[in-house]
Every structure is written in structure tokens, then in C-alpha cells.
Structure 1
Amino acid sequence: MEAAHKLKTYEDLLAIPEDVHAELHAGEIVTQPGSLSDHSRVQRSMSHFIGGPFDDDTDGPDGWWIFTEMDVRFTRHDVTRPDLVGWRRSRLPSPGNLRPIDVVPDWICEVLSPSNARHDRVFKARLYAQHGVPFYWLIDPAERLLEAYVLKDSQWLLAGTWDDTEVARVPPFEAVELALEAVLPAAAHLTFPPCCTRRSATPGSAPACTSSSVPAPARRSASWRPAP
């Protein structure tokens, strides 16, 4: 009789070199190649523009811990390392040197790349919804789009989709305006139709552009229920 498959745990992840991006998805170790330059630039910019006012700046709307690539354990067999992740300090008073962190985050942001887009949109979206992560952002550097989702009744509701021509107040960080042009990497090889102009956006608003060149995520349904 074939031996039962043993599900991996965090202890198995610790045996993997630290410079390898490895996660646990339903007991299976999933590794990813190193980040592309656009991915790293978005991650660094988001850490600055969100982490600055909400974590570093004591004169700003603080009350958060904002980290990059922190191990988060949702179950014994599910551990992810989000590109950016945040906790309200009222729920995580002192992270210290905890590894992994077992407290469910208040906000997660994943930066899409060819190697991880499927996991971020399917497996992780389902996992985060099941465990009650209230806010989930997806950033697509190639299309220069930010999609923001809010969890309601175990469904991901689209709060808004913004491109790099816009300035937005995006939940849960509505206290500051986020200029997407500064966050998303420039791509001179792509052009926008005339209708795409810089304007202020509010949560729930649609991108200004409605032409056929708008990427498909901008037309996503406003309700997204992760598959059971």
C-alpha cells in the first residue's frame, strides 16, 4: 500500500534557504523565481507611499504595521509571504521578531507577475477570504493597474480599479491620496487613448477610460466569491 502523502508544515519551510521565496499552499511547498524589476519597484514604492504615512510617520494617520514579505501562517499547512502586508496595531500590538505571524492581517497586497498571478487570484484570494482578511489589493505592473477588494459576507467586492493616470483614495488607506503614477513603473512602450486623463478618484469609482484598450480587470464584476 502506498504511504499516505505527508502535508508540509512551517518547519519544512525553515529547511529551505532564506533567499528562496517559498510558501505553503494546502500542505505543498510552492517556490517562485526571483522578482522582476517592475515587481520590485512596485513593492518598494508601495512600502514608501503606504508604509510612510501609516507606519513610519508619527504625525500622520498611523496605527499600522506595514511589512514586505512577512511569513503569515493561516493554518498549519497554509503559510504565505505577501508582497506587502499590514496589521492595525490595536490587533498586533508588537510584532517583535515573530516568525511566522499567526494573527490574520488587516490588509494584504500582492504584486502580480507571470509566475504568481494564478496563485494570487485563485488560491490566495480564497485563503484570505476564508480567514477574514478584510482588504485585498492586486497590482499588475504590466498593465499598470491597481484592483482593491473589500471582504463582505465571504465575498470579495470590488472597491475600485485604478490605472497610472489617476490619484485615488483606496480603502483601507483613504486618509491619503495615492498617486498611481508614482507607484506603478513607467512603461514608455505603451500608450493610452486620449480619454485617459489624470483625475481624482474615490473608492468605488471606475477608471476614466472606457475604450477597448482598457485591460480586462477594469471590467471585473463588482462581486467576486472565491471558489469553495
Structure 2
Amino acid sequence: MAAVSHYIHLAKGLLSMNQVAPIIRHDATYQDVIDAPANMVAELVRGALHLHPRPTSRHGFAGSVLGMKLGSTFQLGGEGLGGWWIIDEPELHLDENVLVPDIAGWRRERMPEFPDTAAFDLAPDWVCEVLSRSTRQFDLVEKRTLYGEAGVSHLWFVDPVARTLEAFANQDGSWTLIAALKDDDKVSVAPFDAIEFELSALWPD
């Protein structure tokens, strides 16, 4: 525990210098997630504590706009649709792993009642990760694998620097690319292909 606390302190110092937070590879527990500094996102993957800085403004803009686009229709029932819970940065407890996706969605047929809880132990039906310099490899490798193992049906990656969206469908635990969009392409992608919007809405300029 002392070693983990030491590296949390080190990571906090590195972040203050605008450097990428280190990955802390120690035997960690959920208590280490709880004890992480408030200015970092803490995730637990196969016993390793991962610390990342809070999102940049472009990262936050892309995630917020996407959440509004999908939430207004598929959560609040706009355009005659609905049937989803769309949540920003939920804490997921998937077996021994603790993950915090940028956005996640559950079909209400699988989660009829919205739980009054600090964390979700039911895997989402859809996850979106907004890529950033500090989390890109972690999102594309470790977290993608865990989402597949947990049975997440659809996974999107949004890159606000490259201005791209890649969408994948889970087929027997393996991810299959179903859409690759960029710049101002039209977005109409499963599981939200009942609507269409311009990808450029996710970029602030």
C-alpha cells in the first residue's frame, strides 16, 4: 500500500508538469482507486492501478456533444425513440476490474430500473472512449479487450485530434470494424443507426 501511495504522489507531480501519467503496476485493490487524487481518473485492470489525467477541453467537448446527441434521442425519447440509459463516465465493476469509460449506454430491457449506486456491475451494451495522448494505448488495447470479455456489444472510439470515429461490433468476443468515419462524415452507426448527425458536431472548430 505504501508503494502504491508513493507512485500516486509521483503521478500527481508528473501531471503538474503536463506529462503523461505513469501506469502503476503493483498489486492494487479497490481501496487504491478510492484513494487516488481527485484530479485523476483511476482504473483497476487485472490487479494494476492505472492513473490518467482528467480530459482535455477537446476531449470533453467531443464526449459532451456525443452524449447530448444520443441522450436526447435514445434516453429522453426524442424523435419517437428511447429505450436507453446514456451515462457519462460511469464506474464499471467488471469482475475484478474497475473501468471508467467516457460514455456508456445500457438498453432498458436489460436494466429496466436505473440503479442508485456508486458503480455498475452490469456490463453496458455500448461504450465510447474518447482517445487522448495519455490514454490512447490503454483504451485501444487493455480496455478494448476487457470490454469484449465482459460482453459489451458495441464499442466506439472517437479521436478529437484526428477527427475520426471508429465503431466496432462484438462477435463472439472479437471486435469487428463496422464503421470508420472522419471530419464531417454523416454518423448513422449501430446501435444508434436510427438517427443521423454530422461528425463535425464533435469538433469545436
Secondary structure of 1:121's counterpart equals helix
For the pair shown, the structure with the greater C-alpha radius of gyration is 1
CA RMSD, 1 decimal: 1.7
Residues 1:148 and 2:148 are matched in the alignment: no
Equivalent residue letter for 1:108: V
Out of 42, 50, 55, the position equivalent to 1:35 is: 55
State the distance in 1 between where 2:127 and 2:204 align: 20
Do the aligned residues in 1 keep the contact of 2:53 with 2:134 (CA within 8 Å)?
yes
Q: Which has the higher helix share?
A: 2
Equivalent residue letter for 2:180: T
Do the aligned residues in 2 keep the contact of 1:51 with 1:66 (CA within 8 Å)?
yes
- The aligned counterpart of 2:182 is 163
Do the aligned residues in 1 keep the contact of 2:72 with 2:78 (CA within 8 Å)?
no
Matched length: 181
- Tell me how far 1:12 sits from its aligned partner: 3.1
Residues 1:26 and 2:46 are matched in the alignment: yes
Do the aligned residues in 1 keep the contact of 2:39 with 2:54 (CA within 8 Å)?
no
State the distance in 1 between where 2:158 and 2:203 align: 9
Secondary structure of 2:200's counterpart equals helix
Q: 1:170 to 1:103 in 2, by over 3 A?
A: same
Note the alpha carbon deviations across 1:102-126, whole angstroms, 9 max, x for none.
0011000000000000001100111
- The aligned counterpart of 1:9 is 29
State the distance in 2 between where 1:148 and 1:109 align: 9
Equivalent residue letter for 1:29: L
- The aligned counterpart of 2:116 is 97
Q: Which residues of structure 2 form unaligned runs of 5+?
A: 1-24
Overall identity of the aligned pairs, in %: 35
State the distance in 1 between where 2:51 and 2:121 align: 21
Q: Which residues of structure 1 form unaligned runs of 5+?
A: 187-228
- The aligned counterpart of 1:60 is 80
Equivalent residue letter for 2:104: V
Q: 1:146 to 1:6 in 2, by over 3 A?
A: closer
Do the aligned residues in 2 keep the contact of 1:170 with 1:178 (CA within 8 Å)?
no
State the distance in 2 between where 1:61 and 1:9 align: 40
- The aligned counterpart of 1:172 is 191
- The aligned counterpart of 1:116 is 135
TM-score computed with the length of structure 1 as normaliser: 0.75
State the distance in 2 between where 1:91 and 1:157 align: 23
Q: 1:8 to 1:60 in 2, by over 3 A?
A: farther
Out of 136, 139, 143, the position equivalent to 2:155 is: 136
TM-score computed with the length of structure 2 as normaliser: 0.83
Secondary structure of 1:124's counterpart equals helix
- The aligned counterpart of 2:146 is 127
